[in-house]
A and B are shown apart, each in its own frame.
Chain A
Amino acid sequence: MVVVEPYSSGNMLAPAFRQAGFSPCAVTLAGNPAPNLATLRLSDFDEHLTYDGGGLGPLADRLRALDPVAIVPGTHTGVTLADELAAVLTPKLANAPDLGSARYHKGDMIAAVAAAGLPTIRSRCTSDAGDALSWITREGLSGRDLVVKPVDSAGTDSVRFVPGGQDPRAVVTELLGSANRYGSRISEVLVQEHVTGVEYAVDTFSYEGRHTVNDIVRYHKVSSRRHLALYASMEILAMDAPGNDTIIDYVKGALDALGITFGAAHTEVMVTEAGPLLIEVNARLSGGGHPWTCELATGDNSIDRMVRYLAGDRNISDGYPLQLTTRAIFFGVRSAGVLSGLSRLDAIMDLPSCCNLQVNVQDGDYVPETADLFDAQRLGMAVLAHSEPAQVAADHREVRRIAAGAGRPGGFTIDPNHGGMEWR
C-alpha cells in the first residue's frame, strides 16, 4: 500500500493498512514544507521514497518493484501524484486520468461539474486582476460580495472575502504575488460570487465507481476581519436528516463529474436557497484526524472502508447510522501573542460528553491570530460525543465558557455564541 504525502489524517492510513496485513510505503515530495509536518510518522512505514518533481519514471519503477496493491493520497499535496502513479501502476484502482486536473485545480473542477449539468457558483479562473474585473462587470456582479481564493489551496488557506463595493483587484493582485501554506507561489486565483447558506461536507469512500457515504457534516464558521470564514465547530448529522438526500445526490454527481471511482473524498457544498452548490471536492481523506471523529459518531470511517475493500470485502454500506451525536470544536485565538492560562482547559475533560481534548500548545508559546484551519489545528480541538444531543449542546456551551478564560484575551475558541445564539 502506497500513501503519497501521509500527513494530517493521512497518517492514520499506515497503521490501518498494516493491521490488515498490507505493507505500507510512504512517498513524500522532496522539499515540500508541509504545514502539518509534525503529523508525519515515517516509523509506521516499511519503505519511504521521495519524489523530486522530475519525471515520474524512476519513482514508478521503484514502486512497481514493490508490486503495490493501491496508491492513495494522504493529504492535499499528494492528490495529483497519487492520481498519476495509480494510473500507471494500479489502473483498476485509479480515477479517470483525463480529469486529473479537475480533481485538484478549483477552476477546472467547477468547469467539469458545470459541464455535467450540476449548478455551480459563478466563477472565473484568472491570473490577471484586470481580467477579473472585466468578468465581474460582464456577469453583473459589480458591487456584490465576492470570494477570491487560490486555485489549489487547502484548509481555507488564503481564501479572501471581498465586500461589495471594494475593488477586488487589490485582493487578486495581493494573492497572485504571495505564497500558499505549502510555499508555492500563487499563480492563478478563482474569483467567485459570494453565496450564502449553510456549509456542509460529505465524506465518501468510492469503489468501482460506487460512492458510499461515511458522514455528512455541518460546519459552523465565523468571519474574521480578513478571512472569509474560520472553522469554529462541526457536527456529524444523521444521514436521513431533512435535506440530506438532495446534498448526497449532488455530491455523487460531482464525484462522477470528476471521474472519481476509487478512494476517499471530502466534498464541501454550500446549501443555498437554490439548492447545493459546490465549494470543492477534495479527492482525499478529510484532514485534521476527521476519520477518528467519524468512527466515534458512526462506528465506521473512510479508512476502514478502504482497507476492507482492498482486503476483498464488498459488503460496504452505502450510508451510515448515527450512533452518537458528535461535535468537534476547533480552538482559535482572535489576536497574535503569547498564550497563558491553558490549564483551565483541563476542565473540558470533566464534561460528560468529552471524548478527546487535544491541546497542542503550552503557556508561553507565541501564536498568530487564527487565520485558517492550519492555525486552528496547531492549537488543538475538543471532541464531544454522547447518545443525548442535549448533553452535547450543553457541554458545547461549557467548552465556550471554559475556553473564554484561557489562551489569549478573547479566549481560546472563535465560537461567537457567548451572547446566547445557539449553534446551527
Chain B
Amino acid sequence: MSDDESTSTVDTTAVLLGIWQQLFRDQQVGPEDDFFDLGGHSLLATRVISQVRAALGKRVMFKDITECRTIALLSARIDEKR
C-alpha cells in the first residue's frame, strides 16, 4: 500500500490500540491512556509513525503524537487526514 492511501474501512482506534499494546506489553492500555504517562518516549513515537503508515497508509507526524497523547485523540487526528 502506498503512503497516504486511504483505508476508510479500517477502524483507526483498533489499529492504534494494537500498536500501543505491542509497545506497552506489560500494561493494560485503553483509549484514554496518555502515551507519555504509559512510558512512551520519542523513539516509541517513531514506531507509532511507522506502524500507522504501514497499517493505515496514513502519515502521522511526531507533533501529532505529542499533541494527541491518547488513542482517542490521535485516532480523531488521523481520521481528519485525507
Residues of A whose CB lies within 8 Å of any CB of B are 12, 15-16, 18-19, 289, 291-292, 295-296, 299, 301, 303-304, 323-324, 349, 352-357, 386-388, 391
- Which chain B residues in 39-59 approach chain A with CB under 8 Å? 39, 41-44, 46-47, 49-50, 53, 59
Task: Answer whether A18 and B46 are a contact pair too, CB < 8 Å, given A349-B61, A357-B61, A388-B3.
Answer: no
Interfacial chain A residues near B2, Cβ < 8 Å: 387-388
In the docked arrangement, what's the CA distance between A301 and B43, Å? Answer: 9
Q: Contacts A296-B50, A299-B50, A387-B3; is A355 near B61 (CB within 8 Å)? A: yes
Contact A18-B39, Cβ < 8 Å, known A295-B47, A296-B50, A356-B62: yes
Chain B residue contacts of A386, Cβ below 8 A = 3
* Chain A residues within 8 Å of B41, by CB: 12, 15-16, 19
> Given the complex of chains A and B, what is the CA–CA distance between A19 and B39 in angstroms?
6
Q: Inside 8 A of B50's CB, which chain A residues have their CB?
A: 295-296, 299, 323-324
Cβ–Cβ < 8 Å partners of B46 in chain A: 292, 295-296
Complex alpha-carbon distance, A19 and B62, angstroms: 20
CB pair B49–A296 under 8 Å, yes or no, is yes
B residues near A, CB below 8 A?
A: 2-4, 39, 41-44, 46-47, 49-50, 53, 59-63
| Cα separation A289 to B42 with both chains bound (whole Å) | 9
Cβ contacts under 8 Å, A352 to chain B? 3-4, 59
Cα distance, A288 to B3, chains bound together (Å): 27
Other A-B pairs beyond A291-B43, A353-B3, A391-B3, 18, CB < 8 Å: A15-B42, A16-B43, A19-B39, A19-B41, A292-B43, A292-B46, A295-B50, A296-B46, A303-B43, A323-B50, A324-B53, A349-B63, A353-B59, A354-B59, A355-B49, A356-B62, A357-B63, A387-B2
In the complex, the answer to whether B42 meets A292 with C-beta atoms within 8 Å is yes
Closest Cβ of chain A: how far from B36's Cβ, in Å? 9
- In the complex, what's the smallest C-beta–C-beta distance from B29 to chain A, in angstroms? 14
B residues in contact with A15, CB < 8 Å? 39, 41-43
**For B59, what are the chain A residues with a Cβ–Cβ distance below 8 Å?**
352-355
Chain A residues within 8 Å of B62, by CB: 292, 355-356
B interface majority secondary structure: helix
Which residues from A are CB-within-8-Å of B60? 355
Q: Cβ of B39: which chain A residues have Cβ within 8 Å of it? A: 15, 18-19
Other-chain contact of B61, A304, A356, A387, A391 (Cβ < 8 Å): A356
Output the least CB separation between A351 and chain B (Å): 10
Can you list 28 A-B pairs, Cβ within 8 angstroms, ordered by A?
Answer: A12-B41, A12-B42, A15-B41, A15-B42, A15-B43, A18-B39, A295-B43, A296-B50, A299-B47, A299-B50, A303-B43, A323-B50, A349-B63, A352-B3, A352-B59, A354-B59, A354-B61, A355-B59, A355-B60, A355-B61, A355-B62, A356-B61, A356-B63, A357-B61, A387-B3, A388-B2, A388-B3, A391-B3
> Which residues of B lie under 8 Å from residue A356 when comparing CB positions?
61-63
For B49, the chain A residues whose CB sits under 8 A away are 296, 355
Q: What are the residues of chain A within 8 A of B61 when measuring CB–CB?
A: 349, 354-357
CA distance A296 to B65 in the complex (A): 14
A338 smallest CB distance to B (angstroms): 26
Minimum distance in angstroms from A51 CB to a CB of chain B: 26
Please give me the residue from chain A that is nearest to B4 by CB atom: A352
Query: What's the nearest-Cβ distance from chain A to residue B81, in Å?
Result: 11
A213 to chain B, nearest CB (A): 18
- Write out the residue numbers on chain B whose beta carbons fall within 8 Å of the beta carbon of A296: 46, 49-50
Distance (Å) between the CB of A259 and the closest chain B CB?
A: 28
Smallest CB separation, B67 vs chain A (Å): 12
Shortest CB-to-CB span from A2 to chain B, Å, is 18
The residues of B that contact A354 with a CB separation of less than 8 Å are 59, 61
A386–B46 alpha-carbon span in the complex (Å): 13
A3 to B3, CA, bound (A): 38
Residues in B with CB closer than 8 Å to A353 are 3, 59
Question: Bound complex: CA of A295 vs CA of B49, how far in Å?
Answer: 10
The list of the 10 closest CB pairs from A to B, nearest first, reads A15-B41, A295-B46, A356-B62, A19-B39, A296-B46, A292-B42, A295-B43, A292-B46, A387-B3, A386-B3
A356 CA / B41 CA spacing, docked (Å): 15
A355-B46 Cα distance, complex, nearest whole Å: 9
- Which B residues are in CB contact (< 8 Å) with A292? 42-43, 46, 62
Q: CA separation between A263 and B4, bound complex, in Å?
A: 37
Q: Which residues of B contact A12 (CB under 8 A)?
A: 41-43
> Chain B residues with Cβ under 8 A from A387's Cβ?
2-3
